[in-house]
Chain A
Amino acid sequence: MKAAVLLIPLLPLLSFAFTGLLGRRYLKERSHYVSVAAVGISWLLSMYVLVEVERGQTLSWQLYSWIAVGRFSVDIGFLVDQLTAVMLLVVSTVGFMVHVYSIGYMHGDKGYYRFFAYINLFMFSMFMLVLANNFLLLYVFWEAVGLCSYLLIAFWFPKRSAANAGMKAFLVNRVGDFGFSLGIMLIFITLGTLSYSGVFASASTLSGGMATAICLLLFTGAVGKSAQFPLHVWLPDAMEGPTPVSSLIHAATMVNAGVYMVARSNPLFAQSHTAMMVVAIIGTFTAIFAATIAMVQNDIKKVLAYSTISQLGYMFLALGVGAWTAAIFHLLAHGFFKGLLFLCSGSVIHALGGEQDMRKMGGLKRKTKITYWTFVIGALALSGFPGLSGFFSKDAVLTGAFAEGYWYFWIVALITVLLTAFYSFRLIFMTFHGEPRTDPKVFAHAHESPRVMTVPLILLAIPTVIGGLMLGIPPENGHIDRLLHHIFEAAIPAGEHVFGPLTLSLMIISALVGIAGILLAWHLYERCPWLPNAACKRAGRLYTLLLNKYYIDEIYAAVIINPLRGFCGWLWRFVDAGVIDGAVNGAGWLAMGAGRLLRPIQSGKVQGYLFSMFLGLLALMVAYLLFNI
């Protein structure tokens, strides 16, 4: 098992070095050979680890001492337990699928080798992120996945919007990481260690206020990485990256890191009710907030991006109300179906030669059958259609919220279910149904993607369909609950929930709401396609507000970025060049001025000097005689 755990991250790293160094000159179109193979082996090894963990074997392994200074000591080490195994499952599976898919999607791109190098680096970082056994190592790879995200978002860097989006993603994440790093420092100062085992063992010794402070700081990091309000702004822009990247990094894996981190720190969060409430509130708010925006977006990837933000909100809601397992379950399910949805959208974009605007799509159903059906499966899962994975996982979240007594969160979440179902099927209807609104020439060329792209779609659709049935039945006590029980032992509120009439009725309600959303979309976009425009006109202001994403970007620009830049300019021009250099130059001028003043004394007439010398001598003598100095 040790060898497997070591090889899982190591193979992508080696492949990164290999592809990155040799790709440009030698590998070129063959760049994917090594990298896909490496990730494939990592996937096999991850499956092996999962099986081992299922059998009850876990691993805690210090590789070497990383930083040791005084009392501060951090190891590079691995922790493999049930939570890690579940994360490995998502990361490696979606990762492998995306690698295969990219062979087709990125074919012919100038940066082909670069793409595979970056994405391998990402796989390494993400594997290490979930395998780390202490907070600092987590933080290291937390930043490293952020870097890969930056590189991949800005992959087509000659495009200004792509370059900007990459930078924005990194910077917004840095804001979150600022809190995260302070949280880590606070943990060390109060508990004297950073290893998971050490911190969690002594978590109960924390005072309430300290626990809240630590948890909120850690959560700041999660807010950034998992794109929660108010740091969600980077994720929609991140869609500038190639679509496989959006699928892997910005839907299935990296954005889940925040959820993973909070779940991992559950013994800490269990110490602070306040922090949990904050998590739940932010999560719930983000869920509905992002869903409303997703309803009116016209860019196919933006819809999915806001959907991701919204679904991550669900996960945080679950974490906040203490439904830990539900959060991880939803993470798992969402990872698969959202990964699938993004890959499908990539296939659509590929078919239309780069078009992303849904207003210029339509009627694609005939042309791209596999994409269509896998897309529908994904969208159904996203809408919580009974039987699919999303249904069970979303339901676990809702039930968790309701059962813990947070009915208000439940109501908001239920409304979000409606919105989710609506925008998912709005997307389907606008893209695949109705008359083609595409340029006829482009539409004539539209074709199903090559097999290297459609096979991953089909493979990802399988867990989307059966994943919930396998893991989530019976609800509240499914396989996933049993698997993760040990991890959340300390933090699960007392009292076991058992599957009963309450759960069943909640399930039925949410299923009905979801179906209602689908029907609404069908009515608006399939039956009466003129209605949406009319409705938008009626709700003019609201529509503009939503279309412009509540003007959050503009507000940040006006309130933070521009004043900051103005202030920095002022600091440089006024304080640095004016005051400080002014003082320095002033000292110089002072010396010169004094010299100019004293200049006449230096008359050049030796006799004058002599005379003043005599006077001075005289004065000294007088002083000597009078005062006897």
Chain B
Amino acid sequence: MILQHLPALQIVVPLVAAPICLLLRRGDLAWGLTLIVSWAALAIAVMLLHAVITGGVISYELGDWAPPWGIEYRIDAANAFVLLIVSGISAVVLPYARASVASEIEESKHSLFYTAYLLCLTGLLGVAITGDAFNLFVFLEITSLATYVLVAMGAGRDRRALTAAFTYLVMGTIGATFFVIGVGLLYMVTGTLNMADLALRIADLGDNRTVLVAFAFLVVGLGLKLALFPLHLWLPNAYAYAPSVVSVFIAATSTKVAVYALLRFLFTIFGLEFSVEALTLTYVFLPLAIAGMFAASTVAIFQVDIKRMLAYSSVAQLGYMVLGVSFGNVTGLTATILHLFNHALIKGGLFMALGCVVYRCGSASIDEMRGLGRQMPLTMAAFVIGGLSLIGIPLTVGFISKWYLILGALEAGWWPVAVLIVATSLLAVLYIGRVVEVAYLQPAPEGRVVTEAPRSMLIPMWVLIVANIYFGIDASLTTSVAGTAARALIGGTP
């Protein structure tokens, strides 16, 4: 009985818990509830992924209204994997959150913080699980609104968080508007909002200018949400000034979910052929992805605030994901889906390490990193391993992503692109290397005595770092799931 309703519970549990959190008022109680809910969400996601892999696509009719009239939750390998990423990161982040939130946000706002956090989680899971285009928009907005609040909460540490949140609000709203216009146009010509139904009807319409315009609006809207270069301007400040926990969580999940939504529209709704014919893949995504990889990595090298540096690196990494999409073949798409997961592990771990630095030193500027290799050895060791993974050194997850990405480029016959991919990895060597050098080869500033971060922060961080290595050494699970998901997407059937 309860197993049948897992898809609904995935969303309903965090959604209901959010207002309860607000009512609890006490920060520690709210934290406890959020923790339990996150772990429950992870358990549900694991069960769903298992069910999808063994039993095929799950279709769940919300309120027993049959699609295409009612809202359908439709889960295949691709979104089950995304659900796992989101809930998994959340489950690891929350034990870490307690100490970090306590040090960065004033106590009266803690229950508000966890309420917003749960709403954000609900939205992200919702975007991933839903099979309805308008429902996806709703969840996207829940996520975005909650994220604006979460980012603004960084004002306690740095007032610039407020302008960052405001910029994000403006850019995010523009993106949402574009998206909803796109959905509206599709509804106009097809009369349906169900994704599976949309796919069928768009195929029947043939050459239709309205569909093309809708496609353009959707791509731009989602491009803003996923920070596709050059629509990434909101991202660096939002990541840099948000509270550490929020940086970890949104860096690891929110842009990933937007990438997933893009994949869903490109491949499931419009179909590979349409996306290729509209020239989006080759002439829009490919150059933008490469430009983003180079520009953002180069900018990252010159950042003083290391959180900001990682934020620019995220823009570059999103370039990798979009690049995988642009190849239009299964290997490239596998690389993208793999990198959704792998990059969540990498950036999650790295932002957690910076969170530990902020917790002890109050800031994550490069000057503050001096001598930390001796004073916070576990934190900095985690940063080094995470950094190696970001560069793509073998036996880390970053390498696996890069392997498939380059393979995808070669399969598409674009070997110069393969060379460009590795060239950007070298830029990552530069920006990670400079932090490592400062941390290990320079003496600590006079008079600063800091110790290792508390265990409640170290353990979640190392869970992610160990996962970086584990899934880098034995990638058979992730590659097979990503491969299945990619084939399902390119095959066209949701």
A and B interact physically = no
